[in-house]
Structure formats: C-alpha cells, structure tokens
Amino acid sequence: RLPYDGPTPAQTDDHPPIRGYFMLILQAILSVAALVQLYRTRMFPLYYLVILGVLLVLVWVLFYQCRQYKVRGMLARLASLLLSAAMAVGCVFAEHGLSALDNVTSGEITGPEANAIVSEPFVLYLSGVDTRGELTENARSDVNILAVVNPVTKRVALISTPRDYYVDLAGTGSKDKLTHAGLYGVESSMATLGGLYGISVDSYIRINFAGFMGIVDAMDGIDVYSDYTFTSVGSPGYYDPTDFVEGWNHMDGAAALAFARERHAFATGDIQRGINQMKVIQAMLDKLRSPALLTSYTRLMAAVSDCFVTSLSEDQISALVRMQLGDFASWTIESLTVTGSNGSSTQCYSAQGQKLYVMKPDEESVAQAQSLIQSVLSGEPAPGEEAASGDASSEALPQVAA
C-alpha cells in the first residue's frame, strides 16, 4: 500500500492556508492581466486566447487541489510561481507591441474596414530612405519597391523600380528621377509609381537605413543568396567594405545593408542592386513568418520604433498578423526588377537648368511588370500552380524583366 502523503497537523501549521490563497490570487490577477493585454494587441486569433485561458484555469485548479500536500503542494507552488512570472512577462510583451505599433502607425482605418486587408488585394509601397535618426517628411527614396499582395491567393509580387528611372512626376506635368519624387513627400512617390504602372497604391512603409540594420540585427541576422562574389564599397557611419561569396551568406544588419546598397560592383549597376534588395526582403519575410521570431519580439519592436513609419493602421497590421497566426499558410513570392537604358543625361524637374544622369524606362519591362501586377490583383494563380486555396506554395526566385 502506498504511504500516506496527506497533511499532518505539523505540516498544516508550517504552511498556513493564507500563503496558498495569496499565490492563487496573484496567479489569477496576473493571468487575467496578461490575457487582457494579449487581447488588446488584436494580433492573436481568439481561439489562441481561449486555449490559453483554459490551460491557466486547469493549472489554477491543480494548485488549489494540491496546496495541502507537502511534496505536491511545493511543486504546485513552484509551478504557480513560474506561471505568474510568465504572465508578468506576457504583460510586458504585449505592452511593448502596443507601444511600438502606436509609434510607427499613422493610418486611421479601423473595425470591419480594417479587416478587409485580409480579404482583398492591396498594393504597398516600400521606401528605403538614406537618412539617420528619425524619418523626415520629405526625403529622397533610394529603395522603391511595390509589394502587390493578394491575401486570398497567398501571392505577393515585389516590383523594384530603379531610383534613377526617368518618370512622369505626379502633379507636375514634368519628368524627373524617381528618387526625387520623395522630395515632395511619400504621397508623391506613391502617385508617381501608380502612374507608371497604371494602378492605385494603397499604403506605404518607410524605413531609414539605420532602422533597417536594427531590424535585421533584432532578427539575429538573415540568410541571403548572392548571385556573385564581390566586395561592397564601404559607407562611413554605416558599414565597412564587406565581402560576399556566390551562394548563401549569413548577414547581420550592416552586411545586409551593404549587400542591398551595392551597385558599383555589377555591370548592370542599379538593376542588380534592385534584385539584391528584393532578395533581402524575401529573407526578412522568411524570418517574419518563423515562430522563432517570438523570442526576438521585444528587440524587434524597439528597432522599428524610431526609424520606421507606415500608413497602415494598428487594426490593419493586427489583422494581417492574426491571419498568419491563424493558418501559418505559405506564400508565393515573385520578384521582378524593371530595366532601362543607362548613361543618359537630361533635364529634371527638381534641378532646373541642370542635366542629371537618368535611366530611360524600357517599355517592354514596364509592360511585363504591369502584367504581373494585374495577375496578382485579379486572383490568378502563380505560373505552374493550381488556383490558390491558401495551401502550400513555393517561392519564386527573383527575376529581371527582359
């Protein structure tokens, strides 16, 4: 027969009931606070929180039943203490997320309208700005990528446009380099790109290079495939000359920025730079989809707070995160860089009386980009795939328009 493990009068005196009740109350308060904070982020599917709540209740009941037993009671108290600590960390975790979202978002779309972002295609402008510290309203954009997203088919097209592309500058009736559109505000860049490709650009994300490095470092680096072996030119204050090999390279923030900015090492200059920029973005998206990123959550939130801004609202971002956590679906990501003729010098709107180097757009490559954009927006499956249903899909390698 098993020995009796119940309480004795001495044990009851040594561990007065009030201590157990205090732990129960503390655990309950912290658990409720953590659940409320996680709910406030609106990033977690409701069934996640329901499951977590049920588990917390089960642990609470277990502790209550075991509190009178010496050995099991000690284990239960230890488990309760650890759980309470975890709930306190959860509160901090959620508060960091809410604070960071408040700092970087400027959109005002809320409620059911915000949820449309997970059921309707949209176009997002990704702008990389060569500034330090906080982002300014008007600044030249060195990275200009349109992310065409269809959340139903789980298909994304990344369209990179060279900074020196000679385009119709929105609202002026004149032509200029694409990068100069940013001098008149991000809306000018969005409208200019929208005019080039015949679409409406819905939202934007702007980030400066210091913020980019911080985000990659917060991810513990990224793995990027390089088409060439080369050494990048250094940039004072950002990074030293950096060596890359043909094949896979693990990059920290400085190396990733060097890889994404280099153009002098390539015969095609800006064209290859655009391809490399999208390789970096794809590597970052891979990391963002990984559950392991949760361990770097607070560092990631701190990295984006001062150097990153988006016109997406908190509700829209939360809806996108909630969608991905709900199904962990794979996405098809296709990349295309438009091309043009190099070496031309001509008049630009923002530099009256001067002739500046520009890249004249190749009409065929622009038409190819327009076709890809419309294919994603209309819900067509990616080449070689059946009609999308949110199931597994492959990621396409970057390509250059012929």
Distance of alpha carbon 392 from the chain centroid:
21
Residue 181 in domain: yes
Strand 332-337: give its sheet, edge to edge: 308-310, 203-208, 122-129, 141-150, 155-160, 332-337, 399-400
Residue 306 in domain: yes
> pLDDT-derived band of residue 101, with 50, 70 and 90 as boundaries?
low
Model pLDDT, residue 138: 86
Encoded amino acid at 170, one letter: A
CB proximity list for 173: less than 8 A, separation 6 or greater: none
Which range of residues forms the domain containing residue 67?
9-104
If one compares 381 and 68, the residue with the highest pLDDT of the two is 381
* SS3 assignment, position 169: strand
Residue 354 in domain: yes
Model pLDDT, residue 191: 97
Residue 133 in domain: yes
Q: How far apart are CA 394 and CA 402, in angstroms?
A: 23
Q: Are 211 and 133 in contact (CB under 8 A)?
A: no
User: Quick check: pTM over 0.95?
Assistant: no
Model pLDDT, residue 266: 93
Do residue 115 and residue 100 come from a single domain?
A: no
Q: Could you give the C-alpha distances from 242 to 125, 208, 234, in angstroms and in order?
A: 29, 20, 7
Residue 298 in domain: yes
- Tell me how many domains the chain contains: 2
Model pLDDT, residue 91: 65
Do residue 122 and residue 86 come from a single domain?
A: no
Q: What is the DSSP string of 126-146?
A: EEEE--SSSPPSS--EEEEEE
Write 163-167 long-range contacts (CB < 8 A, 24+): 163/270, 164/270, 164/357, 164/358, 164/359, 165/196, 165/338, 165/340, 165/358, 165/359, 165/361, 166/340, 166/344, 166/346, 166/358, 166/359, 166/360, 166/361, 167/192, 167/195, 167/196, 167/361
94: exposed, middle or buried (Cβ count in 10 Å: 0-12, 13-18, 19+): buried
Model pLDDT, residue 389: 43
> pLDDT-derived band of residue 33, with 50, 70 and 90 as boundaries?
confident
Query: What is the average pLDDT across 10-34?
Result: 62
Strand 203-208 relative to strand 174-177: parallel, antiparallel, unpaired?
Answer: unpaired
Q: How far apart are CA 251 and CA 233, in angstroms?
A: 16
Which run of H or E residues covers position 124? strand 122-129
Do residue 20 and residue 158 come from a single domain?
A: no
Model pLDDT, residue 13: 46
pLDDT exceeds 80 at position 38: no
Do residue 207 and residue 344 come from a single domain?
A: yes
Do residue 272 and residue 391 come from a single domain?
A: yes
Strand 351-361 relative to strand 340-348: parallel, antiparallel, unpaired?
Answer: antiparallel
CATH code for the domain in which residue 226 is found: 3.40.630.190
* pLDDT one-digit tens code per residue, 282-339: 899 888 776 666 666 667 776 776 678 888 888 888 888 888 777 777 889 999 999 9
Residue 382 in domain: yes
Do residue 51 and residue 187 come from a single domain?
A: no
Write 38-47 long-range contacts (CB < 8 A, 24+): 38/90, 38/94, 40/94, 40/98, 41/94, 41/97, 41/98, 41/101, 41/318, 42/314, 42/315, 42/318, 42/319, 42/322, 43/97, 43/318, 43/321, 43/322, 43/325, 44/322, 44/325, 45/322, 45/325, 45/326
If one compares 100 and 249, the residue with the highest pLDDT of the two is 249
Q: Are 109 and 156 in contact (CB under 8 A)?
A: no
Do residue 184 and residue 303 come from a single domain?
A: yes
Dihedral of the alpha carbons of 194, 198, 203, 207, in degrees to the nearest 10: -40
Residue 108: φ, ψ to 5°: -120, 10
Residue 2 in domain: no
Do residue 95 and residue 115 come from a single domain?
A: no
Average pLDDT, the chain: 80
Do residue 181 and residue 286 come from a single domain?
A: yes
pLDDT exceeds 60 at position 15: no
Do residue 97 and residue 116 come from a single domain?
A: no
Among 104, 132, 167, identify where a domain stops.
104
Residue 1 in domain: no
If one compares 396 and 162, the residue with the highest pLDDT of the two is 162
* pLDDT one-digit tens code per residue, 230-281: 999 888 777 889 999 999 999 999 999 999 999 899 988 888 998 999 999 9
Among 104, 120, 144, identify where a domain stops.
104
Model pLDDT, residue 397: 42
Among 65, 86, 104, identify where a domain stops.
104
Model pLDDT, residue 161: 96
* pLDDT one-digit tens code per residue, 171-203: 999 999 999 999 999 999 999 999 999 999 999
Q: What is the DSSP letter of 184?
A: G
Do residue 193 and residue 66 come from a single domain?
A: no
Residue 128: φ, ψ to 5°: -105, 120
Model pLDDT, residue 307: 76
If one compares 221 and 74, the residue with the highest pLDDT of the two is 221
Do residue 304 and residue 194 come from a single domain?
A: yes
Model pLDDT, residue 10: 46
> pLDDT-derived band of residue 133, with 50, 70 and 90 as boundaries?
low
